[in-house]
């Protein structure tokens, strides 16, 4: 990450309904460990995957947004959540393409697309092309990387 310190990124703020240039969030591993649970750290900072059906990102009704567990960036609206049957929270679209960085991931012998928080680089999950309308995308996320904020 050398040379990226102090970088800027344009992020969409879902509640305000606007995007703005903001500073990237960069911390050392030791700093992340202090503010995250061991599971959040393993998944979000080390690219781990939680076991299917191991966590619950409910509620599935109501209104609100899922934020990045590491930096609080708005990532998904509850309205975009759907039941995929995979055991991981699944969404058909993010609040904005600005807030998610997509990266080719060839680990595990499969060509997949990794989804990362655009502001802090947290590993969120993977994106697949077998989602429902209107986007046809399935953002298959880890609960450990998300925090639900109602309202």
Judged by the rule CB under 5 A, the positions of this chain that interact with Zn ion are: 68, 70-71, 73, 117, 119-120, 122
Query: Smallest distance from the beta carbon of 99 to Zn ion, in angstroms?
Result: 9
Closest to Zn ion by CB, 81 or 123? 123
In angstroms, the CA 100 to CA 117 distance is 5
Closest to Zn ion by CB, 73 or 84? 73
Closest to Zn ion by CB, 78 or 120? 120
> 8: which residues sit within 8 A by CB, 6+ positions away?
21, 22, 23, 24
Q: Are 13 and 19 in contact (CB under 8 A)?
A: yes
Query: Smallest distance from the beta carbon of 133 to Zn ion, in angstroms?
Result: 28
By DSSP bridging, strand 138-141 and strand 74-77 are unpaired
Give the ranges where 66-125 is alpha helix by DSSP (H): none
Residues 57, 71, 120, 140: which is the catalytic one? 140
Catalytic residue flag (residue 68): no
Query: Smallest distance from the beta carbon of 14 to Zn ion, in angstroms?
Result: 14
Catalytic residues: 140
């Amino acid at each position: 990450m050398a040379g990226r310190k102090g970088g800027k990124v344009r992020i969409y703020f879902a509640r305000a309904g606007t995007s703005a240039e903001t500073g990237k969030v960069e911390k050392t591993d030791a700093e992340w460990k202090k503010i995250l649970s061991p599971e959040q750290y393993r998944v979000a900072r080390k690219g781990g995957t939680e076991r299917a059906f191991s966590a619950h990102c409910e509620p599935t009704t109501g209104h609100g947004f899922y934020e990045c567990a590491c930096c609080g960036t708005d990532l998904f609206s509850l309205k975009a959540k759907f039941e995929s049957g995979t055991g991981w929270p699944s969404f058909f679209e993010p609040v904005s393409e600005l807030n998610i960085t997509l990266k080719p991931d060839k680990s595990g012998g499969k060509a997949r697309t990794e989804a990362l928080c655009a502001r802090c680089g947290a590993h969120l999950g993977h994106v697949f092309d077998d989602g429902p309308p209107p986007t046809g995308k399935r953002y298959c996320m880890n609960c450990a990387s998300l925090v639900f904020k109602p309202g």
